[in-house]
């Protein structure tokens, strides 16, 4: 990428962890859940630059809770060191807890594959310079 002086800019991306609220245990081929707190699983991607260096699928311990599922899911993601959460919608409690832990929520439509969202969103994060801020 060249800057306004026609010099090549070096863009450095630190290691980030992305979490996706998902329906099953299919990794990149899984689809985004319609819910956050009661999602079946969370697909966690460790990313350096635009490269996935590790994939992990975590069962959601709060998926069967009648109340308070969102904060329990957030606690699990905080413990995993997640920087970004991709999900359809969040409840108020989960939203506030993510903010409190400096985890950015990026809303995405449900039923779309993780692979597609990863490709689209990683490019947006790169263009916006958000990844470099972490």
Helix (H) or strand (E) holding 21: strand 15-22
Q: How far apart are CA 41 and CA 23, in angstroms?
A: 6
Average of per-residue pLDDT across 111-132: 86
Q: Are 105 and 87 in contact (CB under 8 A)?
A: yes
- pLDDT of 8 over the 50 cut: no
Residue 35 has which token pair?
């819910």
Sorted by where each starts, the structural domains of the chain and their CATH numbers stand as 15-133 (3.30.420.130)
pLDDT value, residue 131: 64
- pLDDT of 124 over the 50 cut: yes
Residue 132 has which token pair?
């470099």
Number of H helices, E strands in the chain: 3, 5
Instruction: Please report where in the chains the tokens 């319609």 appear, as a residue.
Output: 34
Identify which of 44, 40, 42, 51 has the alpha carbon closest to the alpha carbon of residue 14. 51
pTM reported for the whole predicted model: 0.86
- pLDDT of 104 over the 70 cut: yes
Residue 81 has which token pair?
């060191």
- pLDDT of 132 over the 90 cut: no
């Amino acid at each position: 990428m060249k800057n306004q002086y026609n010099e090549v800019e070096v863009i450095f991306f630190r290691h980030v962890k992305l979490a996706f609220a998902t329906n099953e245990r299919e990794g990149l081929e899984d689809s985004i859940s319609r819910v956050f707190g009661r999602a079946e699983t969370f697909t966690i991607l460790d990313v350096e630059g635009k490269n996935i260096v590790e994939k992990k699928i975590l069962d959601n311990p709060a998926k069967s809770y009648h109340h308070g599922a969102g904060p329990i899911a957030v606690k699990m993601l905080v413990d995993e060191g997640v920087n970004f959460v991709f999900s359809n919608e969040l409840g108020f409690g989960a939203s506030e807890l993510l903010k409190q832990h400096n985890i950015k929520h990026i809303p995405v439509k449900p039923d779309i594959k993780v692979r597609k969202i990863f490709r689209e969103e990683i490019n947006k994060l790169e263009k916006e310079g958000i990844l470099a801020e972490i």
